[in-house]
Amino acid sequence: MTEVHDARIAELVDLAFDYRGYVTVSRRDGSKLVGFIYDRSPAHLEMFDETATQRIRIAVSDIAHIELTGEDSAAKAQRIWERRKGALEPSETSAWGDWQERPVLFVVALPQELHGVAAALGVRARGSAVGGRIHGATAVAVAVGVGGGAAHVIAAEQPRLVVSCGFSGALDPALATGDWVLASSVHDETGETIAAPELVLRAARRALGAGPHFGRLAEGEILCATGIAATPAEKRKLARPGRLAVDLESGAVARAADRAGIPWLALRVILDPIDLALPAFTRRPAGSYIVPALRHALGGPRAITELVGLARRARIATRALADAIGRFAPVLGGVHPEQAA
């Protein structure tokens, strides 16, 4: 590195440090990082990534260039003030400013899935909705039933983030009960594919990928079907390369959130691997499967064994769901509606 280069980088670091907006740091290996620089020394600079969820330390010797790419918040404030000089905001302006606390909304289908979310919130699930706080963020979880109901819940809650979560069937043979599936996109049977907002996805990926957990984390497409794929043959028929799981809700949630301009995430836990057949009663959507399960048990020892196995898998999946939400919780504070894009 030449002295001229060193001096130029030192000057850029000082400039970026004083800047109240995002900068793009190009490293000598060709990679780029976007974030907010809050500290610097002759050897390093420290920045938050653009979701403000991760602190990054970069050696000054690795930096090839820095550009001031984001809007300068200080200059913007000064412009606004200049423009309205002397004119006051009306007294009716909300006392919360732009910061009315909007909850994180967890949308599930079944009461059993609600238990997993409630466990992560540290509350008990009673009825079809629970509320609580998780890492300082207000959270609401609603069981909307199999297949839908997401749009009106989103409209009512006006959340800052919607998380579609719950159980799903595996379409990838590598996935087992309790594995997590993070949707990079959701595809439904109308042919529409909705890509997950990248910033939220990235934050979730990082949170879920950190530290050991008993299942694996896979990321890819989730298929939102209109009917339950109960048999291995039905599931194989739906499988495609990159398509990991099938559920009945994520499409409706993603579409409703996307249209409302609210960031969303689909996080599913595998209940039934691709080669496992579900009991026939699961084909009929129901608010609760207790009565159909009891009826199924009357079918004899084989049916009872089948039920016991399913209950065990449901327990594993419930724990995995609570674990996933618990891991994702610390980054919830950094998620906001601007990240819907």
Partner 1 sequence: MGIPVSQMLAVARYVTKQRILGRERYPLVLMLEPLFRCNLSCTGCGKIQYPAALLKKHLSAEECLAASDECGAPVVSIAGGEPLLHPQITDVVAGLIERDRYVYLCTNALLLEQKLDEFTPDKHLSFSVHMDGPRAEHNLSVCRDGVYDTAVAAIRAAVARGFRVTTNTTLFEGANPERMRRFFDDMMALGVEGMMISPGYSYSKAPDQEHFLRRERSHRLFSQMLESPHKEWRFNQSPLFLQFLMGKRDFECTPWGNPTYNLFGWQRPCYLLQDGYAKTFRELMEETDWSQYGRASKNPRCQDCMVHCGFEPSAVDATFRSARAMGSTVASMVTGQL
Footprint of partner 1 (CB under 8 A): 17, 20-22, 36, 38-41, 46, 48, 50-52, 70-71, 73-74, 76-78, 80-82, 84, 86, 88-91, 93-99, 101, 133, 135-138, 333-334, 336, 338-339
Whose structure tokens read 């990248």? 198
In the complex, minimum distance from the CB of residue 268 to partner 1, in angstroms, rounded to a whole number: 27
Please say which residue, 104 or 266, places its beta carbon nearer to partner 1: 104
Please say which residue, 192 or 338, places its beta carbon nearer to partner 1: 338
Residues composing the chain:
341
Distances (CA, A) of 131 to 123, 125, 218, 268, 299: 8, 9, 28, 20, 39
In the complex, minimum distance from the CB of residue 274 to partner 1, in angstroms, rounded to a whole number: 39
Please say which residue, 21 or 220, places its beta carbon nearer to partner 1: 21
Mapping DSSP to helix (H, G, I), strand (E, B) and coil, where does residue 171 land? coil
Please say which residue, 81 or 214, places its beta carbon nearer to partner 1: 81
Would you say 45 and 58 are in contact if contact means Cβ atoms under 8 Å apart? yes
In the complex, minimum distance from the CB of residue 327 to partner 1, in angstroms, rounded to a whole number: 16
How far apart (Å, rounded) are the C-alpha atoms in residues 180 and 178?
A: 6
Please say which residue, 27 or 133, places its beta carbon nearer to partner 1: 133
Q: Which among 221, 217, 279, 218 has a CA at the least distance from the CA of 247?
A: 221
The tokens for 327 are 């891991």
Please say which residue, 63 or 200, places its beta carbon nearer to partner 1: 200
Distances (CA, A) of 294 to 289, 298, 303, 304, 314: 9, 7, 10, 9, 16
How far apart (Å, rounded) are the C-alpha atoms in residues 118 and 132?
A: 8
Query: Within 10 Å of residue 200's Cβ, how many Cβ atoms?
Result: 23
Cα three-residue angle 277-274-228, rounded to 5 degrees = 60
How far apart (Å, rounded) are the C-alpha atoms in residues 272 and 232?
A: 10
- 97 Cα distance to chain centroid: 26
Would you say 220 and 243 are in contact if contact means Cβ atoms under 8 Å apart? yes
The partner residues of 49 in beta bridges, in order of sequence, read 35
Please say which residue, 224 or 340, places its beta carbon nearer to partner 1: 340
Please say which residue, 70 or 285, places its beta carbon nearer to partner 1: 70
The tokens for 249 are 């809700």
In the complex, minimum distance from the CB of residue 263 to partner 1, in angstroms, rounded to a whole number: 12
In the complex, minimum distance from the CB of residue 160 to partner 1, in angstroms, rounded to a whole number: 9
In the complex, minimum distance from the CB of residue 99 to partner 1, in angstroms, rounded to a whole number: 5
Region at 117 (left for phi over 0; alpha for psi -120 to 50; beta for the rest): alpha
In the complex, minimum distance from the CB of residue 81 to partner 1, in angstroms, rounded to a whole number: 3
In the complex, minimum distance from the CB of residue 36 to partner 1, in angstroms, rounded to a whole number: 6
